[in-house]
Amino acid sequence: MSIIDHYDTIAAISTPPGVGGIAVIRLSGKEAYSIALRGIILNRLDVRYAHFTKVLDAETQEIIDDVVVTYFKSPASYTGDDTIEISCHGGYAAAPAILELYYKLGARPALPGEFTRRAFMNGKMDLIQAEAVADLIHAVSESGKKLATRTLSGKLSQKVKKLRTELTDIASILELELDFSEQEITTFDKKELLIKINEARNNIFTLSESYSGGKILREGALVPIVGRPNAGKSSLLNALLEEERAIISHIPGTTRDTIEESFVHNGVVFRLVDTAGLRDTDDAIEKIGTEKAKQTLTDADLVLLVVDLENISDLTFEKDFLKTYSHLPIIVVYNKVDLFPNIPFIDTDHHLSVSALNHTGLDILTDLMVNLLKKHYGVGGDTIAITKQRHKNALNNAGNALLRTKEALASGLSNEFLALDIREAISALDEITGHTTSEDVLNNIFDHFCVGK
């Protein structure tokens, strides 16, 4: 079985995802202090003092967020180990990014109930509390199991099992030559082995990349509604929500601040963001709104670009926009079609006429939104995607182990060295499925090769 390390530094978001104005990330373990420092621009932390600082990804030199960091020194902390709490901006972007950074810097994802378990181990609780914790771990792992069987049911679990089988096959080939070399056995040449390793690695990589799609499943798709002032963006938001959420008026520049509201279609959560109309302006407030709209676009998964059919003589703005954001899936929504009963209805790949006023074309629009997400991120329907950071980590570890296998193979090392890394790759996959056995390789050998004297 894959062994949980009870002593290394763990990290998790300790506020519910996406809720509230502030998210707290907790790091705990022997190295929590030094790991925490690696991600912020301070080089020391005073005990129990709130430090205002920034989280910086040293690799990309990118500032992730402004945060407040507090250091609780062992044993005076919740877990009893050195603990760091990082408060960052709530919502969906900052906290996961910071967490991901800390996984890179040496922490590992905490298991369900693990902070509490450590607290108990360090004598921070009495037995009654501890029993409650044990039950909780059991319950969490049970419901986790249920959840796992649900999310892992069918395709994903089959997929991971298939990947594992590929790796076990490779391991068997390697071990066969080590443990049965006295006998007449099928030997594989380096090239064949390399092909197999590459295949396995690609498959693991593809699954790991499906995480961004998984993220949409988990947190919803961020869909800004943009366009020139007065195009009908707020009207479209209201129409999709079927609720008078945003203020609508015939005065261009009505919407100043962004408004976010969710709605669900075909099992996909859309986080619609109404934005201020985009135009050059001298109005200070409107300018802030425009900036905010642009900000939202950096995290967008899909964009609705609203065009007023009354203003299509000059589409310079729209053309420029499409060029600037060509990496994003964009739907061009021609609004106010009700005013032009004589022009043909537009319904092509990424172009669609609607009327926000009397709800024409909205069903087609929502279907199109789902389809585009599917196409771009493999979300929804029957594509396989992973949705947990923990799974992504495990897959990345497996991929890295395979990379080391390749390097070892290239440098001419013998099978037992390659086997070491393949084993690591296998146990990384086992962390996803909870698979717990080590005898598989020998069993596989006995099943597929005629060995034994």
Partner 1 sequence: MKKSYDIIVVGGGHAGVEAALASARLGKSTALITIEKSAIARMSCNPSIGGLAKGHLVCELDVLGGEMGKAIDATGIQFKLLNRSKGRAVWSPRAQADKIKYERYMQDVLENQANLDIIESDARALEIQENEFRGVYLYNNTLIKAKACILTNGTFLKGKIHIGNVQIPAGRYGELPSIGISDQLKELGFSVGRLKTGTPSRISKRSIDFTNLQIQEGDKDPRAFSHSTRNFDPPNIPCWLAYTCEHTHEILRSALDRSPLYTGKIDGVGPRYCPSIEDKIVRFSDKTQHQLFLEPEWDGSSQWYVNGFSSSLPIDIQIKALRSVPGLENAEFIKIGYAIEYDYFPSYQIRRSLETKRISGLYFAGQINGTSGYEEAATQGFVAAVNAARKLDGANDFILERHEAYIGVLIDDLCSKETSEPYRMFTSLAEYRLLLRWDNAHLRLLDATKKIGIQKSDMIDLFERVKRETYILNTKFSKTRVTTDNPFNIPLGSTSSISLLIRQQKITENNVMALQKHYFPDYLLDSVDQAYVQTRYEGYIDRQFKQVKKMNQLEAKGIPHNFNYSKITSLSNEGREKFLKFKPDTIGQASRIRGISPADIQVLLIFLSK
> How many chain residues bind partner 1 (CB under 8 A)?
51
Q: Which residues of the shown chain bind Mg ion in the complex (CB under 5 A)?
A: 234, 254-255
Q: Least distance in Å: CB of 246 to Mg ion? A: 6
Sheet with 108-109, edge to edge strand ranges:
51-57, 62-72, 83-89, 22-28, 10-13, 108-109
Which positions from 179 through 198 interact with partner 1, judged by CB under 8 A? 179-184
Collapsed DSSP state (helix, strand, coil) of residue 381: coil
Q: Give 284-293 contacts, CB < 8 A, sequence gap 24+.
A: 285/256, 286/253, 286/256, 288/256, 289/255, 289/256, 289/257, 289/258, 292/257, 292/258, 293/224, 293/226, 293/258
Q: Least distance in Å: CB of 335 to Mg ion? A: 12
Residue among 221 and 248 whose Cβ is closer to Mg ion: 248
Collapsed DSSP state (helix, strand, coil) of residue 282: coil
Which positions from 405 through 424 interact with partner 1, judged by CB under 8 A? 413-417, 419-420, 423
Q: Does 335 bind ligand GTP (CB under 6 A)?
A: yes
From the CB of residue 172, how many other CB atoms can be counted at a distance below 10 Å?
Answer: 22
* Residue 31: contacted member of ligand GTP, Mg ion, partner 1, none (CB under 5 to 8 Å, by partner type): none
Residue among 110 and 276 whose Cβ is closer to Mg ion: 276
Residue from 24, 99, 200, 248 touching ligand GTP (CB under 6 A): that is 248
Are 143 and 163 in contact by the 8 Å Cβ rule? The answer is no
Question: Which is it for the CA torsion 453, 417, 10, 147, positive or negative?
Answer: negative
Choose among 169, 223, 220, 201: nearest CA to 19: 220
Q: Least distance in Å: CB of 173 to partner 1? A: 12
Q: Does 384 bind partner 1 (CB under 8 A)?
A: no
The residue range among 146-154, 353-361, 367-375, 436-444 that interacts with partner 1, by the rule CB under 8 A, is 436-444
Q: Does 441 bind partner 1 (CB under 8 A)?
A: yes
Q: Does 157 bind partner 1 (CB under 8 A)?
A: no
Rounded to an integer, what distance in angstroms lies between the CA atom of residue 8 and that of residue 108? 8
Q: Which residues bind partner 1 (CB under 8 A)?
A: 1-7, 111, 113-114, 117, 120-121, 127, 130-131, 133-135, 137-138, 141, 175, 177-184, 413-417, 419-420, 423, 434, 436-439, 441-442, 446, 450-453
